[in-house]
Amino acid sequence: MNTVKDAFLPNLCWIIGNGKSVKNFDDRWIPYLPGFRPSSTARDLTPCIWVPDLLLPGTNTWNEPLLHSFFPAFEVNAILRIIISYSNDDDRLIWVKTKSGLFSSKSFYTTLLAAQASSSGTESSFPWYTFWKVTNCSPRIKIFAWRLLIGAVAIRAAISRFITNISQHCPLCGSAPETIDHLFIHCPIIQTILLASPVGFRVEDSNISISKLFTVWLQSNSTGETFRLGICLLWSLWKARNRALFDNKEFYISIVIKNALKVFNDYSVVSTDIFQSMRVDSAPNLVAPQQLHWLPPAEDVIKIHVDRAIGHSNSSCAAIAHNANCVFEGCGTQCNPLCSPEEAEAMAFLLGLQLALKMNFTTCIIEGDALNVIRCINDTSTPIPWRIRSIILHIRSLLPSFCSVSFVYVNRACNSAAHVLAKFASS
């Protein structure tokens, strides 16, 4: 019974609407913190019980000095990432194990299985049949995954058994011996990579082993896409780790993710749900022919291109505005903490809207290449992934300030200026 409870409650998190239902110190409401709630014990010292008590009076802006008086810096930074929209929408309790935030018995079963496996303290039998049945994956990466399972990878803890005077410490974080489980699951570097990648996987079980992790991934979806992308990420991490160690090359999280996505994509026959959250570069049926080239807007209309970039340790977004005569009207950039590509895309659209407001563009078109975000903004019947819900609601709440504003998909090739600017902002 405890296992059921342990698998259920820690995976619920409030997504803040107006904040009125959520208690600052008791509820789980900060998606960017382990356990989703602050560790602060200041609850007994303050009348600030509810989330709106942490805002500047009459605004939707966080009261930063007040936050710093209650929470350590990393918790303040996590809270500042939460956007409070003007929409006065209700707070919503979501299930973090699905993209939509809606509870599903299948995802709960998978979570329960992982919790049971780790609480039993013994290795459950590994689903070898499912493992070998996975297709659409580079054979050499699958063999690499198999070598991880049988412990046949030359990590430092293994080598040091045979060679003395060799450091056992993880070369990436230096905080623990480099074992397979550490390097590929528990190291803060791989945890950041797994969370920031389209897998969006958060390692919550501090005892999970590589075979249990693979079991969870294999059971996540019938097409094995989580497993396939997951092992591409681990393989890409291993390659980058070796290049850093033996060739003195710089280690960049963004390049690990980029290389993993490339090899994942090379072997994927059809685009998958996971890949939908990345760029929609190859969607010819969704792009009208004229949108393959940059077109100036009509007279008195401003066109704003938006895009995002994932950097080494942060993400960034950019917005560039032009008028009907193709004359540059203004631009804006913003650096954010490392987040999922989808969150970064949504932030880019919000930045575009904020640029328009700041420059008093009341009639504008905002163009970007993130089709999933555009759908969420335009179509109120489209389920919003919980990770970008507050951003989308905030965007919608700003729309009444405009005479006319539309959000349009463009091919990535037409969006290169915004992409270059976003990349520049992240560097």
Question: Using CB under 5 A as the criterion, which residues of the chain lie in contact with Zn ion when the complex forms?
Answer: 170, 172-173, 187
Q: Within the chain, what is the greatest distance between any pair of CA atoms?
A: 74
Two tokens, residue 145: 């995954």
| Smallest distance from Zn ion to CB 56, Å | 40
Nearer to Zn ion, 156 or 303 (CB): 156
Nearest approach, Cβ of residue 153 and Zn ion (Å) = 15
Candidates 55, 81, 51, 52; CA nearest to 66 is: 55
Nearer to Zn ion, 63 or 160 (CB): 160
Sign of CA dihedral 247, 248, 250, 251: positive
Nearer to Zn ion by Cβ, of 22 and 172: the residue is 172
C-beta of 157 vs 348, nearer to Zn ion: 157
Smallest distance, Zn ion to C-beta of residue 189, A:
6
State the nearest-atom distance from the C-beta of 207 to Zn ion, in Å. Answer: 16
CB of 214 to Zn ion, least distance (A): 19
Give the nearer residue to Zn ion in terms of CB position, either 54 or 155: 155
Question: Closest approach of Cβ 294 to Zn ion, in Å?
Answer: 45
- Pick from 124, 128, 170: which is nearest to 145 by CA? 128
- Residue 187 vs 366, nearer CB to Zn ion: 187
Complex with Zn ion: residue 99 or 156, whichever CB lies closer = 156
In whole angstroms, the minimum distance from the beta carbon of 186 to Zn ion comes to: 7
Q: Is 159 helix (H, G, I), strand (E, B) or coil?
A: helix
